[in-house]
Structure 1
Amino acid sequence: MNSERPIPAPIVYNGLLGEIVKTLEPGTEADPVGVLGSIMTGFSAYIGNKAHLRLGYDRHPILVWAILIGRTSKGKKGSATGAAMYALNMLDKQFYDNETVRGLASGEALVRAVADPSYDEQQEALEAGEELEVGGRMAFVIDPEYGMTMLRSSGGSTLSGHLRNAWDGGNLVNATKKETLKATTPHVAVLGHITPREFRSRMSDRELSGGTYNRYLILHVHQSKLLPPTVKTDEKKLRRLVDKLRVNAEKARQVEEMSFAAEAEKYWNEYLRPQIQEEDPEDEVLEQFTARRDPYTLRLAALYALADGRDVIERDDLNAAHAVYTYSMKSIEFTLQEAAPRLDGVTRRGKSEEWQEALRSALIAAGDEGLPRKELARVVGNNVSASHLDQLLASLPVATKPGRSTGRGGRPPVVTYWVGNDQGDGYV
């Protein structure tokens, strides 16, 4: 199973955020991608809600939410977040001391953490010659027991609705007989920890279809190495990098709408976005997890740019963001694949032979036109992972080529076609 773990592309460690992760890496046993996800989430909370992307009519705050999925002790989830907090506390210890929320007990608790000052509080401030700021309160939620949050959300509480609104950057309102709490355009980033088994067992169809889970980056993490107790981080280099990040964060807090470099916008429209569309998961459950892949990729790209002191998204930002989101997709697939029932050898061989025969018949019938990936997945009833489908196809006499253009621009889809004889018992 270890060899099947997803591995992020090196470009995820691009820019200043990546340099900080690489500087922290020698001093922790945590997975570097877990450290990266933790820093991204914490930094996105710090920069506030002023910087945003405008996608159509939708305003997207530059918020990143992550869930670190790893086995107890071996996943080193806490170590990953601990390493990230070491750097973030260098950035602004007062902020993270005051604005970090531990756990998500309820929807009311979330709203209360970022609620506007009450009328009485505002009046008292005015009488004292002060004026309290209303709206835009920031919070960094670290939830080491995210399994309990999933359980609460699936039970019909207000928590899931408040979480979805918070990711969207909308207002939060919690009304009871005693009081009405309102948070105007709060800026909340959420970082959760959970084991694979908990995640699979607590998944709710209602939350999946409602869009709660696709607001998170799902990052599989595991222990990266064993360290002796005397290994230390290059403190001088780390402080220099964090000092630079602090300067860039102050710039980011003044940024309003993000823009694209001309070359990056063309690259996104003509190449990367069509490529992302082609990467649609074949499994319907995976498809629900990735429904926000376009805006999420752009949020990540914007965060890379802001961390580097820019309000303009460049091509490298897009590629790094795409690599992070691709890793998240692979992490989801890996986590859910582990949940599949383990068949005995005879049953597994029998099913594989059945699926091979179904693929053979479908490909022979398709002829030179071939079949795109989605159609091949449907042939086997969307019952196998992408890697298993690759294994099935590798056992057959097939080849790939560009298919017909969809007419929507971008590259034509890749199709698989039969190159064996008509009886399907070997190559021509």
Structure 2
Amino acid sequence: MSSNAPVISNAAFSGLFGRITNALDTYTEGSKVGVLVSLMSGFSAYAGHGPTVETGKGDSPLALWTVLVGPSGRGRKGTATSLAMRVLSQAFNTFHDDAVIYGLPATGLGYITELSDRAEGGTATPVQFIEEEGDSFIANARRDTKVGVYLRKSWDAQTIAHKTKQDDLRVRRPHVGVIMHCQPRNWAAISGTKDATGGTYNRFLPVWVQQSKTLPVFEASNASEVIRAAARELRNAADYARQVDSVIVPRHVAETFEAKHRPIIEAMISSEEMSQYAERAMAYMIRLAALYALSERRDEVSEADFDAALALVSYSIETIAYILPQADTSEEASMTIKVEAFIREAENTGRTATEIYRAFNIKASDLHGIVAELDTITVVKGESVKGRGGRPSVRYIYTGEPAETFEDEDIAEGDIVEDTDDGCEETNVAEETPTLLAPLTVAANEETNPKTLEDQVFSPVTVCPLILSEDEWEAFDAETVTASPASAKATPVTVNPDLPRGVEALRAMLDGTATTPKPVEIPATVEPAPAMPVGVDALRALLSQATPTTATVAKTTPPAAAVSAVPLVLFQAPTSEGVAA
């Protein structure tokens, strides 16, 4: 089943969560994404009711419910979560002892009782549920419909009330984090159930996990030092998050979200089958982006936070499609939107065919079909390099309006142009985020693993995956054509050889003995220009000018790109009073 398993983008491992996950990966056979979402869920539970995200539809709480879906044994679900819990228990030791509950109650009464017993004055205190037997929970929860109702209310932080002849319980503002483990066939069994179509299970974020590597049993390195450093930084970030009332999405970031991130997710969940399982994908985009921001001790969401959230939510949607084949992810539609967004990001520079091939691992024929569907992309053809031959250069530029396209025969597979590198961009996380785990080194055998923790955490991350083989890339690069940049033709300047130059020209002007160039015939209808002063008179005339006359150089400034107003549907633009100090 794992032959076509989804692959998560490196963009998801951003910020503090990503750096901790990357540092821990050396010490576990568990999936990196399993460790990542377990850390984020525990962080969201500890942060509590305080931080919310302001949207046009109200404030959104930041609780994260995740499901690690993988085959028994080979999925290493427990391995991934247990490593994350070692960090969380050290970071939030009191919270771990008092508020972490192993086992999610499968009845409404049992669930509300757990919350009520820890409530203070009727208001719930944050709780983290860890359900390692999610298969049993799904089976048992079918017998009590109230547990589904209470879970749905908890996800939205709404009041839960349970009243019978024997019990009268009421809990306000529940804040719950959930980590659940489940086998693929049992998570797929939710298909068609009331809790699936009614919205209980689409409040969970499922991620596919499987064994990432094999480590020696008796020679494994000790992760204690890494865990201690990670716990310290996670606690500092979580304490900051608890002090934040509201996480803001700045206007320019909200516009980028509406134009770039939202269309991709909407395309992926456009089918009716997929929408019932991933209906909360957009809400999770907002929650996850806020968690990424808080982990970096920021109360404003950045575009990079949404990029990371998009990578994680997209992986979850692909997980659903992998486990539930009947759920169509509308992959063709989402690829069209992804390519359009990728080209739009390059602005007036555009993208080469090679950059698009490598970013999405698509063929030229697929690219032609995608461009044919988009009337917002212009295909610009340049010139071949002299002496090298080959096809002319091709660039795809976003215009935002219906554009003229070329026929398929004008662009063939192999049109690889203007590549000065391998088409990928490398960024160093340390340049954009605080150096949190840098001082420590890994407690490992220096001969087999000489890298420091700083090397592991802050090594450059390749933005686009190299999916093709080296031979295939060499075949691409062999056909690369470097286009000559378009430039205006230079106007030749003619210098009169009879005129003196340099110091001799100045002496000639002062002495009045300047060499007179050959006279130019003037038509009879045009009056000759007045004689120019020479010698001392010329110098006096020059010095007497109040303001020197400077030759005007014509400048051609490209017209500014028209800024289109993007409707802010999900986010309310923050006012100056609303920005947190």
Q: If the TM-score is normalised by the length of the shorter chain, which range does it land in?
A: 0.7 to 0.9
Corresponding residue for residue 284 of structure 2? 296
* Shift in CA distance, 240/155, structure 1 to aligned 2, threshold 3 Å: same
CA distance in 1, matches of 2:187, 2:288: 24
1:153 is the counterpart of 2:123 = no
* Shift in CA distance, 396/19, structure 1 to aligned 2, threshold 3 Å: closer
Amino acid at match of 2:137: T
User: Equivalent residue of 2:246, what SS?
Assistant: coil
The answer on whether the counterparts of 1:20 and 1:242 sit within 8 Å (CA) in structure 2 is no
Deviations 1:302-340 (A, max 9, x none): 011111111111111110001000000011111113999
Corresponding residue for residue 69 of structure 1? 69
* Shift in CA distance, 339/237, structure 1 to aligned 2, threshold 3 Å: same
Give the C-alpha shift of residue 281 in structure 1: 4.2
Corresponding residue for residue 15 of structure 1? 15
Corresponding residue for residue 79 of structure 2? 79
User: Equivalent residue of 2:324, what SS?
Assistant: helix
User: Equivalent residue of 1:8, what SS?
Assistant: coil
Q: How many residues align?
A: 354
Corresponding residue for residue 266 of structure 1? 255
Amino acid at match of 1:84: A
User: Equivalent residue of 1:399, what SS?
Assistant: helix
Amino acid at match of 2:110: A
* Shift in CA distance, 114/316, structure 1 to aligned 2, threshold 3 Å: same
Corresponding residue for residue 46 of structure 2? 46
CA distance in 2, matches of 1:337, 1:53: 34
The answer on whether the counterparts of 1:248 and 1:306 sit within 8 Å (CA) in structure 2 is yes
CA distance in 2, matches of 1:58, 1:235: 42
CA distance in 2, matches of 1:112, 1:183: 9
* Shift in CA distance, 11/273, structure 1 to aligned 2, threshold 3 Å: same
Question: Which residue of the other structure, out of 173, 183, 192, is the alignment partner of 1:185?
Answer: 173
Give the C-alpha shift of residue 373 in structure 1: 4.0
Corresponding residue for residue 242 of structure 1? 231
CA distance in 1, matches of 2:401, 2:141: 41
CA distance in 2, matches of 1:296, 1:154: 25
User: Using CA pairs below 8 Å that are at least 6 residues apart, which structure has the higher relative contact order?
Assistant: 1
Corresponding residue for residue 381 of structure 1? none
* Shift in CA distance, 231/55, structure 1 to aligned 2, threshold 3 Å: same
Corresponding residue for residue 465 of structure 2? none
Corresponding residue for residue 346 of structure 2? none
The answer on whether the counterparts of 2:118 and 2:125 sit within 8 Å (CA) in structure 1 is no
Deviations 1:166-194 (A, max 9, x none): 11111111112112111110111111111
The answer on whether the counterparts of 2:62 and 2:291 sit within 8 Å (CA) in structure 1 is yes
1:215 is the counterpart of 2:211 = no
Amino acid at match of 1:402: E
Deviations 1:239-281 (A, max 9, x none): 2332122112111111111102443222112322233223334
The answer on whether the counterparts of 2:33 and 2:207 sit within 8 Å (CA) in structure 1 is yes
Give the C-alpha shift of residue 95 in structure 1: 0.9
The answer on whether the counterparts of 1:66 and 1:217 sit within 8 Å (CA) in structure 2 is yes
The answer on whether the counterparts of 1:147 and 1:202 sit within 8 Å (CA) in structure 2 is no
CA distance in 1, matches of 2:88, 2:118: 27
CA distance in 2, matches of 1:69, 1:411: 40
CA distance in 1, matches of 2:161, 2:251: 40
The answer on whether the counterparts of 2:44 and 2:63 sit within 8 Å (CA) in structure 1 is yes
* Shift in CA distance, 233/326, structure 1 to aligned 2, threshold 3 Å: farther
CA distance in 2, matches of 1:338, 1:395: 27
User: Equivalent residue of 2:283, what SS?
Assistant: helix
* Shift in CA distance, 293/117, structure 1 to aligned 2, threshold 3 Å: closer
Amino acid at match of 1:243: R
CA distance in 2, matches of 1:320, 1:13: 7
User: Equivalent residue of 1:260, what SS?
Assistant: coil
User: Any unmatched runs of 5+ in structure 2?
Assistant: 335-362, 377-398, 410-581
The answer on whether the counterparts of 2:54 and 2:249 sit within 8 Å (CA) in structure 1 is no
1:278 is the counterpart of 2:267 = yes
User: Equivalent residue of 1:182, what SS?
Assistant: strand
CA distance in 2, matches of 1:206, 1:328: 21
Amino acid at match of 2:127: A
CA distance in 1, matches of 2:267, 2:215: 41
The answer on whether the counterparts of 2:16 and 2:295 sit within 8 Å (CA) in structure 1 is yes
* Shift in CA distance, 74/102, structure 1 to aligned 2, threshold 3 Å: same
Amino acid at match of 1:109: G
* Shift in CA distance, 396/133, structure 1 to aligned 2, threshold 3 Å: closer
The answer on whether the counterparts of 1:46 and 1:138 sit within 8 Å (CA) in structure 2 is yes
CA distance in 2, matches of 1:373, 1:254: 41
Corresponding residue for residue 205 of structure 1? 193
The answer on whether the counterparts of 1:41 and 1:189 sit within 8 Å (CA) in structure 2 is yes
The answer on whether the counterparts of 2:157 and 2:175 sit within 8 Å (CA) in structure 1 is yes
Please say which of residues 103-112 and 190-199 is displaced more in the overlay. 103-112
The answer on whether the counterparts of 2:102 and 2:129 sit within 8 Å (CA) in structure 1 is yes
CA distance in 2, matches of 1:33, 1:269: 26
* Shift in CA distance, 337/279, structure 1 to aligned 2, threshold 3 Å: closer
Question: Which residue of the other structure, out of 349, 369, 374, is the alignment partner of 1:399?
Answer: 369
Question: Which residue of the other structure, out of 316, 324, 330, is the alignment partner of 1:336?
Answer: 324
* Shift in CA distance, 397/20, structure 1 to aligned 2, threshold 3 Å: closer
Give the C-alpha shift of residue 61 in structure 1: 0.8
Corresponding residue for residue 109 of structure 1? 110
CA distance in 2, matches of 1:16, 1:108: 37
Deviations 1:194-248 (A, max 9, x none): 1011222344431122111211111010011111122224533442332122112
Give the C-alpha shift of residue 23 in structure 1: 1.5
The within-5 A match list for 1:121-132 is: none
User: Any unmatched runs of 5+ in structure 1?
Assistant: 119-131, 341-371, 375-392, 421-428
Corresponding residue for residue 125 of structure 1? none
Question: Which residue of the other structure, out of 199, 208, 215, is the alignment partner of 1:227?
Answer: 215
Give the C-alpha shift of residue 19 in structure 1: 1.0
The answer on whether the counterparts of 2:241 and 2:297 sit within 8 Å (CA) in structure 1 is yes
Corresponding residue for residue 168 of structure 1? 156
What is the root-mean-square deviation in Å for CA atoms of aligned residues? Answer: 3.2
CA distance in 1, matches of 2:364, 2:60: 42
The answer on whether the counterparts of 2:34 and 2:80 sit within 8 Å (CA) in structure 1 is yes
Corresponding residue for residue 5 of structure 1? 5
The answer on whether the counterparts of 2:132 and 2:182 sit within 8 Å (CA) in structure 1 is yes
* Shift in CA distance, 134/333, structure 1 to aligned 2, threshold 3 Å: same
Give the C-alpha shift of residue 116 in structure 1: 6.4
The answer on whether the counterparts of 1:144 and 1:192 sit within 8 Å (CA) in structure 2 is yes
1:135 is the counterpart of 2:123 = yes
Deviations 1:270-297 (A, max 9, x none): 3222332233343x32221121221110
CA distance in 1, matches of 2:269, 2:401: 14
CA distance in 1, matches of 2:367, 2:46: 54
* Shift in CA distance, 204/174, structure 1 to aligned 2, threshold 3 Å: farther
The within-5 A match list for 1:348-367 is: none
